[in-house]
Structure 1
């Protein structure tokens, strides 16, 4: 499934909410390694939930967060122009609202 990406390529939209994209300045090898770490951590979360292992769940969630920070999806923003972060905000409550509304109009 392809999610719409904001014109500045900082966010993609899922169910009306903005999610920060990975840092496009990451080298492909580094990005691939971090995505693999993220996927491994997500599998560990699933396994810990299935096994009802709270300690393993905490460790796995920490690894997910660490990978997402390294990818630029959480933590400090990767852009340098001083623009605020709208990660996880409803798009309708951000400066991207008109852009997103126009996308809906194009589909009709």
Structure 2
């Protein structure tokens, strides 16, 4: 695939190619992961504004977990069996939920 061309696996914004979310994830799972991702992005912004590099790192870790769960990072979702992808998403959610419970 050439840069700038969309397909079922990627989309392009301002000339940059981004991996699509795994379309086989149940909507409730994907929605919860997107919620974690949005909150993580907000935490990055607030931590940067406060100059708290440790908080930035923690927030980026959360974003990475959410993006892996969504299939947007890590092994390409289209090359892996669907049950394996769902397990990855559920594990990411469980870890993100644990982080929410941490002080």
TM-score normalised by L of structure 1: 0.66
CA offsets, 1:32-77, max 9 Å, x none?
A: 0000000000000001001001111110011111101110111111
- Stretches of structure 1 that go unaligned for 5 or more consecutive residues are 82-108
Q: Which has the higher helix share?
A: 2
Q: How many residues align?
A: 77
Q: Which structure would you say has the larger Rg?
A: 1
Q: Structure 1's 5 and 25: CA in aligned 2 closer, same or farther, altered over 3 A?
A: farther
- Structure 1 outlier segments of 4+, above 4 Å: none
TM-score normalised by L of structure 2: 0.70
Paired residue for 1:35? Answer: 34
**What is the deviation of 1:6?**
2.3
Aligned-pair Cα RMSD in Å: 1.7
| Mapping of residues 15-94 of structure 1, within 5 Å | 15-80=14-79
Paired residue for 1:94? Answer: none
Higher RCO structure (Cα 8 Å, ≥6 apart): 1
